[in-house]
Amino acid sequence: MAVRICKGLFIIGLMILVTGCWNRRELNEMSIAVAMGLDEAREGRVLVSVQVVNPGEIASKKTSGSGGTPVTTFRAEGNSIFEALRKLTLKLNRKIYLSHLRMLVIGEELARKGIAEPIDYLSRDHELRTDFAIVIAKNGKAEAMLDILTPQEKIPASKLYSSLEVGEKAWASTSKVSLDMLINDLENDGKNPALNGIIMKGPHNEGQKLSNLQLTDTKTIMVYDGFAVFRKDKLVGWLNINDSQGYNYIQGKVKSTIIVNSCSGGVIEVELIRTKTAVKATLTEKGEPKIIVDVHGEGNVGDVSCDINMLDPTTIPRIERMTEQRIVEIIKGVVDTTQSRYKTDILGFGDTVHRAYPQQWKKWKQDWDSTFMHLTVQVDVHIDIRRIGTINQPIKSKVRK
């Protein structure tokens, strides 16, 4: 009996010691950050901008708000991100809480000088989750991007995050890059990073106003515009929309997109509904590495504006070949751009070679950028057309016959 009593008292004592949230924080004690911007400041310092939610303005009831903006952007300079964030407490009555961060925007000037140091801090901070998206402010500063109020979503960071995902699913010119993915690319000898670029369309001062949300024709919007190309941790250039789609084909991230094929008197547009990419490494007769990109996909005919007989049994195979050729051109375009213009392997071909030939890779990785420039890349595409729509013949042909 005495033993049982002692055990019971011991367990009760442990429960008293371990219960409770010793590091709890109340919502009214925190400033919740949903987006962060990093820019190069004077004398090598960093400018940190933080987009903070105004809780009263995003409540569901209209009467709960005071007619103000749903978010506020605060800025501070420091020798490091850590120092700048702490300096923000001089402007806020609450400490910044970063666990709900959705977007990290890095200014182009800072990206060209190197992003290794900021990423190192972000990877160490225990409060930060790693699922936020990282983008580059094309031709601009991150602090300006965080000022813009966006339609459809009350919180601009949520809109930017959603647009990134929708663009990846429906158009294939964007793809979300999280902190873990970026760190993996930075530490990988066989792949350099590529990050989505975002650009401001319209005047900056108009985008800051609440009226930017109250007009049917928004004066200032944020638009994703291609990929930022990196060599190690430094930005070296940009991919256009076509090359960005080619990049996503190689990465196996094309879920759906539209292929426009030229034909007599108009175009035939094919909606890809699914694709699968396999990237393999082999050796040439001289023992040099060679890459084979193999893409298989399925699609539907979405629009026909040229004179073509859809009932002809040879028409669908022709459309399939046209679509395949167009995808080959898109993929070869980004291969040529990265090999000839930027001379940096953001496509991950080095990583593919490493996995296929680990022993030879020890030799090739010493000067992979040079090897990559002359790498032979074979692109094979096979597309199956599943549906041609609810009508057989183009209406244009019937009307003008």
Cα Rg, the chain, nearest whole Å: 26
Question: Quick one: average pLDDT of 304-321?
Answer: 92
pLDDT digits (tens, 9 = 90+) for 121-130: 999 988 899 9
pLDDT at 62 over 60: no
Between the two ends of the chain, the Cα-to-Cα distance in Å is: 102
Q: Which residue has the higher pLDDT, 358 or 265?
A: 358
Structure token pair of residue 116: 């290794």
How confident is the model at residue 211, as a pLDDT? 82
User: Which residue shows structure tokens 């996995």?
Assistant: 355
Nearest CA to 295 out of 261, 260, 259 is that of 259
pLDDT, averaged across the chain: 90
Coil, strand or helix at 154 = coil
Strand spans (E) along 8-60:
30-40, 46-53
- Residues 210 and 150: their CA atoms lie apart, in Å, by 9
Q: Tell me whether residue 87 is exposed, middle or buried, using C-beta atoms within 10 angstroms of its C-beta: 0 to 12, 13 to 18, 19 or more.
A: middle
Question: Quick one: average pLDDT of 190-211?
Answer: 94
Sketch out the chain's domains with CATH numbers.
27-238 (no CATH), 254-401 (3.30.300.210)
Asked if residue 332 lies in contact with residue 378, where contact means CB atoms within 8 angstroms, the answer is: no
pLDDT band at 401 (very low <50, low <70, confident <90, very high): low
How confident is the model at residue 157, as a pLDDT? 96
User: Which residue shows structure tokens 């970026």?
Assistant: 182
Report the DSSP beta bridge partners of residue 135.
105, 196
Question: Quick one: average pLDDT of 80-88?
Answer: 94
What contacts 256, CB < 8 A, 6 or more positions away?
A: 169, 170, 172, 271, 272, 273, 274
Q: Calculate what percentage of the chain has a pLDDT beyond 70.
A: 89
Ranges 29-33, 58-62, 214-218, 254-258: which has the least confidence: 58-62
Asked if residue 146 lies in contact with residue 49, where contact means CB atoms within 8 angstroms, the answer is: yes
pLDDT band at 94 (very low <50, low <70, confident <90, very high): confident
Coil, strand or helix at 185 = helix
Ranges 52-56, 112-116, 136-140, 268-272: which has the least confidence: 52-56
Strands 30-40 and 46-53: antiparallel
Nearest CA to 384 out of 276, 307, 234 is that of 276
pLDDT digits (tens, 9 = 90+) for 222-233: 999 999 999 999
Nearest CA to 301 out of 334, 252, 254, 263 is that of 263
Structure token pair of residue 199: 């650009």
pLDDT band at 399 (very low <50, low <70, confident <90, very high): low
Q: Calculate what percentage of the chain has a pLDDT beyond 90.
A: 74
- Residues 272 and 279: their CA atoms lie apart, in Å, by 20
How confident is the model at residue 64, as a pLDDT? 43
Asked if residue 228 lies in contact with residue 195, where contact means CB atoms within 8 angstroms, the answer is: yes
How confident is the model at residue 21, as a pLDDT? 57
Q: What is the pTM of this model?
A: 0.91
Nearest CA to 107 out of 144, 75, 160 is that of 144
pLDDT at 250 over 60: yes
How confident is the model at residue 63, as a pLDDT? 42
pLDDT band at 389 (very low <50, low <70, confident <90, very high): confident
pLDDT digits (tens, 9 = 90+) for 322-353: 999 999 999 999 999 999 999 999 999 999 99
User: Which residue shows structure tokens 């442990």?
Assistant: 14
Residue 142 gets which letter from DSSP? H
How confident is the model at residue 24, as a pLDDT? 57
Strand spans (E) along 61-102:
71-78, 95-97
How confident is the model at residue 357, as a pLDDT? 97
Nearest CA to 143 out of 221, 247, 72 is that of 72
How confident is the model at residue 353, as a pLDDT? 98
Question: Quick one: average pLDDT of 54-70?
Answer: 67
Strands 95-97 and 30-40: parallel
Coil, strand or helix at 74 = strand
pLDDT at 59 over 70: no
Question: Quick one: average pLDDT of 363-391?
Answer: 93
What contacts 142, CB < 8 A, 6 or more positions away?
A: 37, 38, 39, 49, 105, 106, 107, 110
Task: Catalogue the long-range contacts made by 60-66 (C-beta closer than 8 Å, 24 or more residues apart).
Answer: none
